[in-house]
Amino acid sequence: MKHLHPNVTVDEVIPFKNEEYEGLCFKWYGDIGFGEYTLYRKANDNQWYGDSECMDTNDDKSFLKILMEQFIERIEIE
Confidence class of residue 6 from pLDDT cuts 50, 70 and 90? confident
Does 42 map to a domain? yes
| pLDDT value at residue 4 | 54
Does 29 map to a domain? yes
Q: Are 16 and 23 in contact (CB under 8 A)?
A: yes
Q: Decide: helix, strand or coil at residue 48.
A: coil
Torsion sign across C-alpha atoms 12, 17, 18, 20 = positive
Split into its structural domains, the chain has a count of 1
Q: Which range marks the domain in which residue 52 is found?
A: 8-67
Backbone Cα Rg of the chain: 13
pLDDT digits (tens, 9 = 90+) for 24-73: 999 999 999 999 999 999 988 999 999 999 999 999 999 999 999 999 99
pLDDT of 2 > 80? The answer is no
Does 76 map to a domain? no
Q: Is 3 exposed, middle or buried (0-12, 13-18, 19+ CB in 10 A)?
A: middle
pLDDT of 16 > 50? The answer is yes
pLDDT of 19 > 60? The answer is yes
